[in-house]
A and B are shown apart, each in its own frame.
Chain A
Amino acid sequence: MTVSVTMTVNGKSVSATIDARTLLVQFIRENLQLTGTHVGCDTAQCGACTIHMNGRAVKACSMLAVQAEGASITTIEGLPGRDGKMHPMQEAFRDCHGLQCGFCTTGMVMAACQLVADNPKPSEAEIRAGLDGNICRCTGYHNIVRAVAQAAAQM
């Protein structure tokens, strides 16, 4: 069964006719070719697919594209400002060596933005608890936690 969807992604209106079972993350990756959003698991546990929908961080692997009908979506590609400069959270991840293989990074950055939006001055424990929905296998989180703290101070 096919359905048509329309949503705004990174400020641009997009429409497509898709198989009804298309997940939002598949729509973003395959239909829109925005491959910065990754799929690391199939149980909504790892958070590699985290995007912003209507200003909230969500896992794009655990919802259908049709559920995002009319929504405003931001992916990692849409996070830098109009001047092309990286978001302070992206800069902080680079400054603090908060990434290694890069696969979880885009979802981690999107989740971290939400964390700081909710709690502008998080403690280390609050940062760790706030990142509970995102798995990184490379960094041991030490430098991710530093990066989020640094970005929070700048945002």
Chain B
Amino acid sequence: MTDMSMSPIGKPLLRREDQRFLTGAGQYTDDISLAGQTAGVFLRSPHAHARIRSIKLDRAREAPGVVAIFTGADLAEAKVGGLPCGWLINNKDGTPMKEPPHPALAQGKVRYVGDQVALVVAENAWQARDACELIEVDYEVLPAVADTATAAGAASLVHDDVPGNVCYDWGHGDKAAVDAAFGGAAHITKLSFVNNRLVPNAMEPRAAIASYTKHDDSYTLHVANQNPHVERLLMCAFVLGLPESKVRVIAPDVGGGFGSKIFLYAEDVALVWASKRVGRPIKWTAERSESFLSDAHGRDHVTTAEMAMDKDGNFLALKVATTANMGAYLSTFASCVPTILYATLLSGQYKTPAVYAEVKAVFTNTAPVDAYRGAGRPEATYLVERIVEQCAREMKLDPAEIRRRNFIKTFPYATPVGLTYDVGDYDATLTKAIKLADVAGFAARKAASAAKGKKRGLGYSCYIEACGIAPSNVAGALGARAGLFEAGEIRVHPTGTVTVFTGSHSHGQGHETTFAQVVAAKLGIPVENVEIVHGDTGRILFGMGTYGSRSLAVGGTAIVKAVDKVIAKGKKIAAHLLEASDTDIVFENGEFKVAGTDKKVPWGSVTLTAYVPHNYPLDKLEPGLNENAFYDPANFTFPAGSYVCEVEVDPRTGQVEICSFTAVDDFGNIVNPMIVEGQVHGGIAQGIGQALLENCVYDKQTGQLLSGSYMDYAMPRADDLPSFKVDTCATPCSHNPLGVKGCGEAGAIGAPPALINAITDALGVRDLPMPATPETVWRVAQGA
């Protein structure tokens, strides 16, 4: 056993990556300049839906500094493929979803404002932008479909070969069991709501530099991306038809992702293809207004939910109907977000015996919609926790009590929607949250608020999520077209220092610190002796990247498995040095020992021997100490928690003040509590953003984006938010060696219903749309 008091596991070590970020030495994609680099600018559609009659490039081609201009016709002629979707969803009748072509540059039609029409390459970005102004596109404007609720069956078709604009019509769960339970229910609670559309808004806009090397016919793409190996795989295998050995994808420092940098984007493909034609590197960096138009958006569901209960408030069945907006094209993982990542979470923390969900995915003339922090689980949690709170109100039960009455209490627990929760203790997190939030003192605070004409409310949210989506074979049976494992490599150097190569990617999560803590603890060496390398297909064996709060649970486990292989080989070397059997060798605190004796050899001697194999069993053991491992999880992990939000509403102005926000999460074991708390803070802020401020709005008639800048889209700022009270409980995950679950998305999943439950409690109303802006709250408070 490692001496845990010395172990860096569980310690709030400061982050090693901060030195470069704090001094301006970070290297984000736009900070990189390559010799001979040109600038790429995309001409984008000003129309939501139009037929392209013609594109005239003559004047633009003659503009100063222009190197080349490419359109969809060039890509079609070169037989460049469309962008693939990574998950097949089948309709209720067993037929496959509609997957219309998604060209990297528009061909024939544009389908949303911001759709790429041409790529202009010039000596600098101004010249490219100036040339864009000289391109004459003759558009035949067509009616736009821009409203989620009415897209299905709309007169206008986004894709001519997708009848009714329906991508798929999917069902999940036991409909007959649900119908039977509703027939025998004592009470049914029904809610309808919209899960508002959001723009992820990582602070670093998307950026890419594509370059081509003629002598070996190879490409390098620097790109702000969360999973460079997946980017390379999709681009090579499905779009450009290139061997992966000829394409290197580097995701350097990346300024936030939140899901939006998972995907293979049209710009990346067009730039890589064009870099060979141009023969020089091409850099493209999105302006923020471009990010609003062209980054994959999140959420955008319209839902009706009904809960059947017995007379005591026990849940009998949940019935859900959702329409989910896919946007104009299927983005990389768009199809699985409102299905596999949504309907499977509708049990929440409750033993509801039967659940049935129908999800209709629709195409609209809006930007593609895909995974955004939480991806399906925030939508599921908002539904479950809003209706559970409403159930409590209608049954005249305390909202904490109705939750406890229905909590799952024995594990493992197989839900009616296909997941098996391995561990959890929902009572414990709720009890701790109630204490931390001082719910006992709420009545007095409410009275004090009332005395000054304010309305105080309390809202709960007991979320569960599924992280580290797995295993690959099960996901494959459900339509996944990718593996869901992770890879790691441990390169031990002769002097005993270690370089770790991980397929996970950090874009703010602090992997360089957390992963070093894990490896240092396992090997009993100083954290400073462990270096973490990520984000480069040229250096890392493989990787599926970072999304779905999977990095430590899946990527960290791959690293642990590789460390175990290193230790196993180290034991053989030590056994030789100690003239013992390798089965008698134990590894403790950085020393190999013969069990039960005082004979031992330190880590550094074994590592040196591996590379200077003079006294070494060369006849039966290879020299060197370098191991890799792939890890495919046996199950998801299931972080869960209880959030309590207390608000004070001024009914005269609609202003909502968050008086306190309390979060108690169960992430299993925790490696670096400082980093975990930071992840929770950030998630809660995004959740509060969704509930109170953020809204991506398209004009329903024209499909124009109305919230296309930070002056129209309200990002949470420091004075919009309170300080948070956060704490944890731990039921360690049962199926990974670290006992960890994942913490990156919890806040964004758990926070919105806590907010809206608190405001509706304060106002004594049933319905309140997100975002609950002062105007919306005022109207609801006035009954207007």
Interface residue ranges, A against B (CB under 8 Å): 19, 21, 29, 33-43, 45-46, 48, 75-77, 79-80, 86, 90, 93-95, 97, 99-106, 109, 124-125, 127-129, 131-132, 134-145
Contact = CB atoms under 8 A, between A and B. Distances in A.
A60 to B, nearest CB: 13
A10 B19 CA distance: 19
A106 B721 CA distance: 21
B28 A38 contact: yes
B47 interface: no
Given A43-B709, A99-B21, 15 more contacts: A38-B28, A40-B203, A41-B709, A43-B710, A48-B203, A76-B24, A86-B22, A99-B22, A100-B508, A103-B204, A104-B255, A105-B22, A134-B717, A141-B716, A141-B721
Contacts of B678: 97, 100, 138-139, 143
Contacts of B201: 137
Interface stretch (B158-166, B412-420, B619-627, B680-688): B680-688
Nearest to B747: A140
A129 to B, nearest CB: 5
Interface stretch (B10-18, B131-139, B330-338, B581-589): B10-18
Given A40-B205, A42-B289, A45-B709, A90 B23 contact: yes
A99 B721 CA distance: 17
Contacts of B203: 38, 40, 46, 48, 101, 103-104, 135-138
Contacts of B258: 137
A97 B256 contact: no
A43 B711 contact: yes
A137 B509 contact: no
B681 A140 contact: yes
30 contacts: A35-B28, A35-B31, A36-B23, A38-B203, A39-B30, A39-B205, A41-B288, A42-B288, A42-B709, A43-B710, A46-B288, A90-B22, A93-B18, A94-B15, A97-B678, A99-B22, A100-B678, A101-B204, A101-B254, A102-B21, A102-B26, A102-B255, A103-B26, A103-B202, A132-B717, A134-B718, A137-B256, A139-B678, A140-B685, A142-B681
The secondary-structure label for the interface of chain A is loop
Interface in B1-50: 14-15, 17-28, 30-31, 33
Contact of A140 (B22, B24, B721): B721
- In the A-B complex, the 3 residue pairs with the closest CB atoms: A36-B24, A102-B21, A103-B255
A99 B24 contact: no
Contact of A102 (B30, B508, B684, B723): B508
Contacts of B15: 94, 97
B724 interface: yes
B26 A36 contact: yes
A45 B202 contact: no
A135 B716 CA distance: 8
Contact of B718 (A46, A93, A95, A145): A145
Contacts of A46: 203, 288, 710, 715
Which of A29, A127, A137 has most chain B Cβ within 10 Å? A137
A143 to B, nearest CB: 6
Contact of A100 (B682, B710, B716): B682
Contacts, number: 179
A77 B24 contact: yes
B507 interface: yes
Contacts of A109: 22
Given A40-B205, A102-B17, A142-B681, A124 B26 contact: no
A102 B674 CA distance: 16
A139 B674 CA distance: 12
Contacts of A86: 22-23
Contact of A137 (B27, B510, B715): B715
A62 to B, nearest CB: 13
A135 B715 contact: yes
A35 B285 CA distance: 14
B255 A45 contact: no
Contacts of B19: 94
B757 to A, nearest CB: 20
A100 B509 contact: yes
A43 B721 CA distance: 23
B648 interface: no
B723 A124 contact: yes
B718 A144 contact: yes
Given A86-B22, A102-B17, A135-B715, A40 B204 contact: yes
Contact of A132 (B21, B26, B205, B719): B719
A38 B26 CA distance: 10
Contacts of A21: 126
B566 interface: no
B459 to A, nearest CB: 18
B312 interface: no
B302 interface: no
Contacts of A97: 14-15, 674-675, 677-678
Nearest to A76: B24
B24 A141 contact: no
B253 interface: yes
Contacts of A36: 23-26
Contacts of B398: none
Contacts of B719: 125, 128-129, 131-132
B140 interface: no
A127 B718 contact: yes
Contacts of B24: 34-37, 75-77, 106
Contacts of B33: 33
Contact of B288 (A40, A102, A129, A140): A40
A135 B288 CA distance: 13
B682 A140 contact: yes
Interface in B199-216: 201-205
Contacts of A45: 709-711
A135 B709 CA distance: 13
B287 interface: yes
A34 B24 CA distance: 8
Given A76-B23, A77-B23, A124-B723, A141 B710 contact: no
B718 A128 contact: yes
Contacts of B709: 41-43, 45
Contact of A41 (B126, B683, B710, B716): B710
Nearest to A125: B719
Contacts of A106: 21-22, 24
Nearest to A93: B22
Nearest to A129: B719
B723 A95 contact: no
B14 A131 contact: no
A127 B719 CA distance: 8
A140 B681 CA distance: 5
Which of B15, B21, B30, B709 has most chain A Cβ within 10 Å? B21
Interface string B498-541: 00000000011110000000000000000000000000000000
Nearest to B687: A140
Nearest to B685: A140
Nearest to B711: A43
Contacts of A77: 23-24
Contacts of A94: 14-15, 18-19, 22
Contacts of A75: 24
Contacts of B25: 36
Contact of B682 (A38, A124, A134, A137): A137
Given A43-B710, A45-B709, A138 B508 contact: yes
B216 to A, nearest CB: 29
B200 to A, nearest CB: 8
A40 B761 CA distance: 38
Contacts of A134: 717-718
B614 to A, nearest CB: 43
